[in-house]
Amino acid sequence: MQRNLFEEDHELFREVAAEFNARSVAADYADWDAAHLMPRELWTAAGEQGLLGLAVPEEFGGAGMPDYRFRAVLDEEFARANHLAVGLAFHLHDDLVLPHLLAYGSEELKQYWLPAMVSGEKVTSVAWTEPGAGSDLRGIRTKAVRDGDDWLITGQKTFIGNGISGDAALVLARTDGGTGRGSRGSFSLFMVEKGEGYTTGRQLDKMGLKASDTAELFFDGVRVPARNLVGEAGRGLEYAAGQLPQGRLAIAVASSAVARTVYEATVAYTKDRNAFGERVIDFQNSRFALADILTEVEVTESYVDRAVLAFNEGRLGAADAARAKLWASERVKSITDRCLQLHGGYGYILEYPVAQAFLAARLLTIFGGTSEIMRDVIGREIAG
Ligand SMILES: Cc1cc2nc3c(=O)[nH]c(=O)nc-3n(C[C@H](O)[C@H](O)[C@H](O)COP(=O)(O)OP(=O)(O)OC[C@H]3O[C@@H](n4cnc5c(N)ncnc54)[C@H](O)[C@@H]3O)c2cc1C
């Protein structure tokens, strides 16, 4: 079925994104994967091409394109080129950190961060998860204590994407002085720059998406000026909840794009591969499997496209975004598995995109909120 999500401007932007993938990523991606790190020049190259901070207003150096379809195009191109780790790294910077600064940051904070994030001179990460608390953010223990005009932050974070390569993290910290599980008003968000007391722990060895670094972070009395508080103290969880729909929509978009890409690669592979004197696609089992997969790809695309339009119109609620993420991420997990099977042994070999997509897709039902948490959000809405 023909999609009608995109217009001419989006397709022009797609050409820029495709060229960026071909020119600035393709040749070195395997090396970055092996090194578990991307070079900083990649970020500045993306900034020069206008691929970062699309929603940032022109007065802060951005393109002033809040239309989420442009971000969707970018994700589709990273999927198509099998550069999923770059997509993940940019997602943290653009879909999670930026929206908080745009929505709640002071003028001073915006002036300082937005132009540098758009140009790629500053790379950011989101530091919410801790060793003892992921789904249940009220259980985090990192604390921020007021000290004159500053805050002192102490604690530990884990699973932080761009944690090694990044310059700063949007940190969720407890600010009410309490211990035990906090209340909704117990937490605040801070932009914390690397410096004294801020150390990066070990690089975590992920099963996929290796080119994007993921690390533990340690804060030992890190002094953070009061201007780096995002919005008001005590409203960190409320702000995070307000921006979650964009983060979850982004994962739905990426899931849908990966599903389509892997489906197309599998059709091509099964047409090319022969067994028992026939093309693999000529076995009824293969055709039936691909028929199911294509149907799921198209249903997912339609649903996610609708979510993108709802987001653009300010109508994507928390449960809507949870449904889009739940559906699309669970679909791509299953689709990459079935497509891998249709590749036979080659599907298990990492130089085949389906193997990398299978490993990447496994993350999508976990991060940004697990599928169980998505069901909880949706179920609560149903229960009223
Ligand atoms: C590669 C990777 C990158 C990541 N990047 C970042 C990042 O950049 N920044 C960041 O802050 N975090 C990041 N995360 C963390 C991620 O968001 C968490 O792992 C995720 O939210 C789950 O938290 P957890 O790992 O603590 O699991 P837990 O919360 O310990 O969950 C364990 C299991 O219990 C289930 N569960 C928990 N609560 C409930 C409930 N109420 N009902 C039913 N089941 C429940 C979960 O669904 C899961 O199956 C990343 C994680 C990974 C693996």
Domains of the chain (ranges plus CATH)? 8-123 (1.10.540.10), 125-234 (2.40.110.10), 238-383 (1.20.140.10)
- The verdict on the CB of residue 125 being under 6 Å from ligand 1 is yes
**pLDDT at residue 291, rounded to an integer:** 98
Give the residues of the chain that fall short of pLDDT 50: none
- The verdict on the CB of residue 350 being under 6 Å from ligand 1 is no
Please give the structure tokens belonging to residue 31. Answer: 């090396």
The protein residue with its alpha carbon nearest to ligand 1, atom 29, reads 135
**36, 95, 97, 129: residue to mutate for ligand 1 pocket, most atoms within 8 A of CB:** 129
CA distance 266 to 281: 9
CA distance 255 to 76: 9
Q: Report the nearest atom of ligand 1 relative to the CA of 206.
A: 1
From 43, 67, 172, select the one nearest 116 (Cα to Cα): 43
From 69, 179, 65, 168, select the one nearest 117 (Cα to Cα): 168
CA 370 – ligand 1 centroid, Å: 6
CA 240 – ligand 1 centroid, Å: 15
CA distance 106 to 112: 10
Q: Report the nearest atom of ligand 1 relative to the CA of 372.
A: 47
- Structural element, H or E, at residue 350: none
CA atoms 338, 343, 349, 353: torsion sign = negative
- The verdict on the CB of residue 295 being under 6 Å from ligand 1 is no
From 360, 328, 355, select the one nearest 344 (Cα to Cα): 355
- The verdict on the CB of residue 341 being under 6 Å from ligand 1 is no
**93, 366, 374, 380: residue to mutate for ligand 1 pocket, most atoms within 8 A of CB:** 366
CA atoms 296, 298, 303, 304: torsion sign = positive
Task: Report angle CA 375, 379, 382 to the nearest 5 degrees.
Answer: 145
